[in-house]
Each structure stands twice: as structure tokens, then as C-alpha cells.
Amino acid sequence: MSTHRVIVHGTEAGTANGPGRPVNVDGQDIGVAVDLDDLLLLLEEHDVYDLDTVEWRGGGPDEWGSA
């Protein structure tokens, strides 16, 4: 089982892309998640299934800003 480096940036980093939080996996931008369910779907598309590997920047999993 391989471990991925996952970073979920704060909402302020996503303002150019609209609401949400930019997400990186192994140094690659994979999209912007607007809530936790959206993040789970985005990560699943990239074979990441463990939220324990997520590095939260600019707020934890309960902070998504205004959508």
C-alpha cells in the first residue's frame, strides 16, 4: 500500500478558482473541493482513501468557507 502526500489548502488559496479549498496529491494540483464529501470523491479518483494522510492548511476538515 503506497502512501500519498495530500495537502488541502485553506479557502483563501482557492479564491482565484472560486469557493473551495485547493487539493494537492504528491505535489500535483488535483482540483478544488467545496466540502468534505467533495474532497472524498476527489481523493478517491486519485486512489487516496485515508484521510489520516491529509495535511490540513488554513483550517481543518470542518472549515470550508462560504460556498
The verdict on residue 1 lying in a domain is no
Range of the domain at 22: 6-56
Q: Give the per-residue pLDDT at 47.
A: 92
Structural domain contains residue 64: no
Instruction: Output the pLDDT for position 29.
Output: 94
Q: Is residue 62 one of the residues assigned to a domain? A: no
61: in domain: no
Residue 4 Cα distances to 8, 27, 37, 46, 47, angstroms = 13, 10, 19, 10, 9
pLDDT of residue 32: 92
For the chain, which residues score pLDDT lower than 70?
1-2, 13-18, 66-67
Total structural domains within the chain? 1
